[in-house]
Every structure is written in structure tokens, then in C-alpha cells.
Amino acid sequence: MNKEWQIYDVEEEKIQEISQKYNVNKLLATILANRNIINEEQIRLFLKPTRKDFHNPYLITDMEKAIDRIITAINKQEKVTIYGDYDVDGITSITVLKSFLKDRGLEVAQYIPNRLDEGYGLNKQAIEKIHKNGCQLMITVDCGISAIEEIKYANELGIETIITDHHEPGNILPQALAVIDNKRKDSTYPFRELAGVGVVFKVIQALGMKLGLKEEEYLKYLDIVCIGTISDIVPLVDENRVIAKLGLLLIRQTKNIGLRSIIQASGYTKIDSNSISFGIAPRINACGRMGKAEDALQLFLSKNLNEVSTLTTKLNEYNRLRQDTEKKIFESAVKEIEEEQLDKNSAIIVGGHNWHHGVIGIVSSKITEMYFKPSILLSFEKDGIGTGSGRSIPGFDLHEALLKCTDTIEKFGGHSMAIGITIKKEKFKDFRKEFEEIAKKANINEIVPIIHIDAKINVSNLNKEMVESLKELEPFGEGNKMPIFAFKNLKIDSIRALSEGKHLKLTLKEGNTVVNAIGFNMGNLVEEYKIGDKIDVVGVLEINTFNGVDTLQINMKDIMRAI
């Protein structure tokens, strides 16, 4: 697939000024300039944030009301229930709030809806159960902002509610006692992109301040807050960066035995945003996807080593089961796509029978990445109802497109890049045809994936210290992607495929300098290039450690013949 390479155009004078004035090497200065981090305070906040860089939580709308009500519940020892989501953000949110309140002498219950039976968010049956348990105050975490009818029902049952959420609200807010969401239209808080667990952190920070506690009493949860923040793929800028940067330091010496255990089980020896995103998050999310979210919560809450060991084994098994299930659905979907030549369409819509609802969204993401086209995967049950997920590509608003298909859709929700959807089987073909027409008019086939490149680098200028310095830019994630570099006119010194043809391994030469390169899922290119060919590559710089020896390596994102 052709990709467009775009190298940032930054003034050399500005890079030189940043490098000299703030004592950073030229490569770091280039990346900071590309991210428009150019003055002293911006650079300090980005590279070395401190606990003093958190905003005042009482700037958040309704915070005062929420804190006063929670303190009343603590003083009166009321029955309180935390209602959360089943993903990493939700699980970490419940962990932090429940643990903090327990330290204040208040034991609280929690409710996590089963993903497979109840789906996301509040539902009246759950609220009824909570009411029967004598709940006086319900606090939602990572959900609730759109639960108009459910909060009304809770009010009718005599349950007061505090909503803490980070999703976009509708035109009408639920009639809760307090609605804490920085995406409220009347919000004046200086940062609106906190994860759900980030909002919970602001609540315990506000509680700590009101109760006159030492900062450590709420800062000690930054390890768990960091896990939820990085996993929820919110932009790692401003307050999220402070959470992630300080949280990673705390994770490395965490006292949470469940977190320690899951890190060890993930096999990662280095604790960074990568190990959280690909080691910890999938294991926690697998619980929710398999309808076992309570196990993930208990892992973080447990103080018993034997229980933690048992739960860690369970999480690993759920993750393995999730991977197996995902692989089967992916293979089945690809087979249908190839047989019916659906990849020739502007959008890919595939239906299957009894596909697992917990992983269908991941498969849709993989299909979209593989073909660079919007995809929607649906699982049809015996009752003829199909539910599924869709993912899009930059430049095509999936949510807006589905608004034009309401005659063939039962219901849907989401945003421009990801949606959930329900369709009747008898309308599936009509929907596929209708959606294809919309995608075709959007000229999807003309949309080219863009790789944003921080700088062009000569291989001969590479050294270990330069690559090591990039760690200062951690944590990487949404809003702060890993730097990508271009390397031009390199000669292939060796080439082979790895892992049964799946990956591509190269050694590349510039003059007398040789560097290794790896291309994951690029194994098919082994037949297109040969030793001696001149190529251009773009990729991430990394240090590969094998048998105790460190070598510089380019993790390739694209490759083309040198011009």
C-alpha cells in the first residue's frame, strides 16, 4: 500500500536555539520543535513535570457539591456503591476510589455491568439491585454522562448520584446531585482530556485537600491512575502527561502486589508506556471482554499473595482465550473478505454467526489496519439480530456516515473513528449496499495513509547515546507519538524473512556504517527486494538487546526504493 511521507518543516535556527538554551541534543530539540514545545516552561513541563503541575480540582464544575456529599457519607457511614465500566479505565477508577474511601474508614460496594449480558453503562435492572442492597449514594466512574433515564430512575428510588465521567455529554445532563465531567459545555477547567480514572484522581485530590490530608495520601495512587490513563488512549499532554510521567516512576516501585504480579506475568522487564499498552492493558481488558471484570478489580484490591497469584493465572488464561477467539474471528472474516472480494469495496462490512462480542471490535481494528478501509463486523445470533463494531480511517467520519443509514439500522453509537451497531439480519444486505454508496462518494480509495516524520537522519550519525536520549520524551502515546525518522539511500546488505515469512529482517549500509532493521508484518516484501538494492526507510529508533549485547535497530514503518 502506498503511503505518503511528510517530514516536518522546522526552522534550523529554532532547533539550534532550543538545543543551546535548554541543554538538549539536536535530535531532542528537533522533536520538541515539531511538537511546538518551544519555551522554557513548556519544555520543563514536558520533560520534568512535578506534583505542583496538577490543576486545582475545585476548578471543576460541581466538585464542591460532590466532595461535600461524599464527606457526609463518610461521616454518617452511609451505604455507597461505585458503578464503573469493565475496561482498564473503569477497573482502575473503581480501584482508586474504593481504596481511597476505605482508607478514610468507609467500606463501599461496587457494581460492574457484565459486558456480554448488560453492555456498557448504567441500566435500570442494575440500579434496582443496587437499591435493594440499601444504597444511599451511587458514584459512577467512567460512565453515566448519557444515563438520563437511568439517573431519573435512581432518583425515584431515593438513590442520590454523583456522576464522574470523561465522555462527551449530550445537550441535556442527567439530573444527578453532581455531574463531574470536564467536557461539559459550561466547564471552565483548563484541561478537558482526562481519562475516567484521571477524573477520579481529581476527586480524591479534592477530598484530600478538604480533609487536610498529606499529598501522599492521594498521590500514592498515581501508579494505578497511570495504568488507566495510558490504557484509555487519551492524549498524553498537559495533566495526563503529569499523571503518566509521575505514575511510571511510581509503578517501578509499586506497593500494589496485584500490579507487581501482572507486570511480572506480562514478561516485560522495562516499565514504560509500551509495556502498559501491550503487556498490562490487554490482560485487564481481557477480563471485561470475557465477562470476568471482577477478577481484574480484585487483583488490584487484594492484599493476599496466594489470591493474587491465582488471579494473575486467571488473567493470563483470559488473555490467551481472548487471543485465540480473536484469531479465529479474524481468520474467518479475512476468508470471507477474500472470497467475496470485499477488499475491492470502499468499505468492508462482514457478518458472521455467534462471533464473540467482547473481541469483535479488536478484529474490526485489525481489518481496518490491514486494508486501510473503514470496516464493520457484525455477529448474528439465532434471533436474527446482529450486533457489532466498526472502525474507521482518518478522513472518513464513521458516525456521520451511519446517520445516513438509519432506515437499515436498529441503533448505533460512538464517534468518528469507532462505533457500536445493531442491525436485523434481513436488512444486512441493504445496509451493506447503502453504506458502500456513502463510502464510495467519500472517495475513500483516494485517501492515502500519511506517515509524519520528525527528521531525516544519516545512519553514520547514529549512536547509542542519541537513541537513549529519546527516553526523555516518554511516555509515548496518543498526542505524543514515538518519533519517526527517515533514512535515505541505504544499501541492502542482507535480507531474510522471520517467523515463517511474517516479518522482514534487514541489515542496511551507508558507506562503511551498518545498521539492523526489522519490519513487523512486512515479510511479504522479501521477494521484492534483494541484496544490493538501494532503499529509503522510515521507522522508529530502538536499542535491541540480545544475549546481553545492545545494538541499534530501525523498527521500520515503511520502505520504498531509493529515487
Give the model confidence (pLDDT) of 498-531 as tens digits: 988 999 999 999 999 999 999 998 999 999 999 9
pLDDT recorded at residue 12:
87
Q: Cα-flanking dihedrals φ and ψ of residue 117, to 5°?
A: -100, -35
Weakest mean pLDDT among 85-89, 120-124, 126-130, 250-254: 120-124
Q: Is the pLDDT reported for residue 180 higher than 70? A: yes
Asked if residues 499 and 477 have their Cβ atoms less than 8 Å apart, the reply is no
- CATH 3.30.2130.10 at 340-446, yes or no: no
In this predicted structure, the answer to whether residue 1 has a pLDDT above a threshold of 70 is no
Residues in the chain: 563
Of the chain, the percentage scoring pLDDT greater than 90 comes to 76
Residue 116 clears pLDDT 80, i.e. is over it: no
Kindly provide the residue ranges of all beta strands, DSSP E only, lying in 13-158, ordered along the sequence: 80-83, 109-111, 137-141
Side chain identity, residue 362: I
Domain boundaries along the sequence of the chain: 55-219, 340-446, 451-561
CATH 2.40.50.460 fits 451-561, yes or no: yes
* pLDDT one-digit tens code per residue, 190-227: 999 999 999 999 999 999 999 999 999 999 999 999 99
Tell me, what amino acid is at 286?
Answer: A
* Section 439-458 average pLDDT: 91
- The confidence band for 48, taking pLDDT boundaries of 50, 70 and 90, is very high
Give DSSP secondary structure letters for 397-463. Answer: -HHHHHGGGTTT-SEEEE-SSEEEEEEEGGGHHHHHHHHHHHHHHTTGGG---EEEE-EE--GGG--
CATH class of 55-219: alpha beta
**Average pLDDT of 166-188?**
93
Question: Would the pLDDT of 413 be above 80?
Answer: no
Residue 235 has pLDDT above 70, yes or no: yes
Q: Give pLDDT tens digits for 466-483.
A: 888 898 999 998 889 999
Read off the pLDDT of each residue in 389-404 and give the average, rounded to a whole number.
92
Tell me what the mean pLDDT of segment 308-326 comes to.
94
Average pLDDT over residues 38-65: 94
Distance CA 218, CA 208 (A): 7
- Average pLDDT of 116-136? 90
Contact assessment for residue 508 and residue 493, using Cβ atoms and an 8 Å cutoff: yes
Q: How confident is the model at residue 406 (pLDDT cuts 50, 70, 90)?
A: confident
Give percent of the chain with pLDDT exceeding 70: 100
pLDDT of residue 120: 75
Mean pLDDT of the chain: 93
Write the DSSP assignment of 252-319 as a string of letters: TT---HHHHHHHHHHT-SS-SHHHIIIIIHHHHHHHHHTT-HHHHHHHHH---HHHHHHHHHHHHHHH
Q: Contact at 8 Å (CB) between 321 and 359?
A: no
Is the pLDDT reported for residue 153 higher than 90?
Answer: yes
